[in-house]
Amino acid sequence: QRLWLGRFSVLAMALLALWLAGDPGAAVLDLVGYAWAGFGASIGPALLVSLYLPRVRGITLLAGMVTGGITVILWRKGSGGWFELYEMVPGILASLLAMLLVARLSRRPAHAVS
């Protein structure tokens, strides 16, 4: 019974996806592009920085991830001019800038007096 239920579920999802993709007014591709921009701007720069700069702290990566995601959301709400640019580009730039700033601000002084 589980096998047939699984097969039926896959068939139902495929038919639903086909129906959604066939609708000319549907913006499925636009929604997928928006989701990729959010993931790319939040996770991409943090992943690259953590690979090439392994001494980067968690708070720095978190700041970049949050900033990248928020930038994509806010950029999407704008219209015209610079806002015609794909959301991922400013999201990645903002994420990298946030990581740079947090890394600089959280750096300990070399000769701290205790």
For 63-111, how does the pLDDT look when each residue is reduced to its tens digit (9 = 90+)? 999 999 999 999 988 888 888 898 999 999 999 999 999 998 987 665 5
Q: Do residues 68 and 41 make contact, with C-beta atoms less than 8 angstroms apart?
A: yes
Higher-confidence residue of 105 and 25: namely 105
Between the alpha carbon of residue 19 and those of residues 14, 23, 26, 31, 72, the distances in Å are 9, 7, 10, 16, 29
Its pTM stands at: 0.70
pLDDT greater than 80 at residue 28: no
Across all residues in the chain, what is the average pLDDT? 86
Burial class (CB in 10 A: 0-12, 13-18, 19+), 114: exposed
The reported pLDDT for the residue numbered 108 is 66
Assign 24 a pLDDT band (cuts: 50, 70, 90). low
Give the residue-averaged pLDDT of 43-69. Answer: 92
pLDDT at residue number 14: 86
